[in-house]
């Protein structure tokens, strides 16, 4: 087994962990939101904050780092659209998570105990659901780029 194959394996494994977890959490969040159970939503927001630190951020950084190492080790070059698109998509996803999803979830988690699922919380949950959906679309687009490699 070559160094390139090991790097690519770790990169793909990180992608599977990251995207699979994101899809599953998106499903769980939809179910919690539909339940109209404030305690369930608050608990899920708490899990989201924890998972962001110990699961999503490490998986996304591992994806990026091992993707870059794979490109360098494989002498693929950074002048391919599918590579640049993948890098940009990962960076955008990290920004969405750290810049919008994390802070919004933390704010809502603090508000729910005193306000329940009031209009402001509902609006915040919709915002999170919309951003999460966009994030998932970006992740799927990255996977498409990596598999199809448009432009060679």
Tell me, what's the pLDDT at 151? 78
Rounded Cα gap, residues 47 and 101, in angstroms? 13
Please tell me the total count of domains within the chain: 1
Does the pTM surpass 0.75? The reply is yes
The dihedral through the CA atoms of 38, 127, 51, 112 has a sign that is negative
Q: How far apart are CA 136 and CA 20, in angstroms?
A: 10
Quote the CA–CA distance of 81 and 112 in Å, as a whole number: 44
**Which residues form the domain of 140?**
3-148
Spans of the chain, pLDDT less than 70: 152
| Cα gap 99→74, rounded to integer Å | 33
Cα dist from 112 to 36, 37, 47, 125, 134, whole Å: 12, 10, 15, 11, 25
Of 70, 91, 76, the residue nearest 13 (C-alpha): 70
């Amino acid at each position: 087994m070559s160094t390139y194959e090991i790097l690519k394996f770790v990169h793909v494994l990180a992608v599977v962990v990251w995207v699979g977890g994101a899809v599953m959490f998106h499903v769980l969040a939809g179910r919690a939101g539909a339940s109209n159970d404030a305690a369930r939503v608050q608990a899920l927001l708490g899990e989201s904050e924890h998972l962001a630190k110990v699961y999503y951020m490490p998986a996304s950084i591992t994806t990026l780092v091992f993707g870059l190492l794979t490109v360098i080790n494989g002498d693929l070059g950074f002048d391919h659209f599918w590579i640049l698109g993948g890098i940009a998509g990962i960076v955008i996803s990290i920004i969405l998570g750290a810049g919008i999803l994390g802070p919004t979830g933390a704010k809502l988690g603090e508000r729910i105990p005193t306000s329940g699922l009031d209009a402001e919380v509902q609006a915040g949950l919709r915002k999170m659901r919309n951003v999460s959906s966009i994030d998932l679309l970006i992740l799927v687009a990255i996977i498409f780029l990596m598999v199809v490699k448009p432009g060679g």
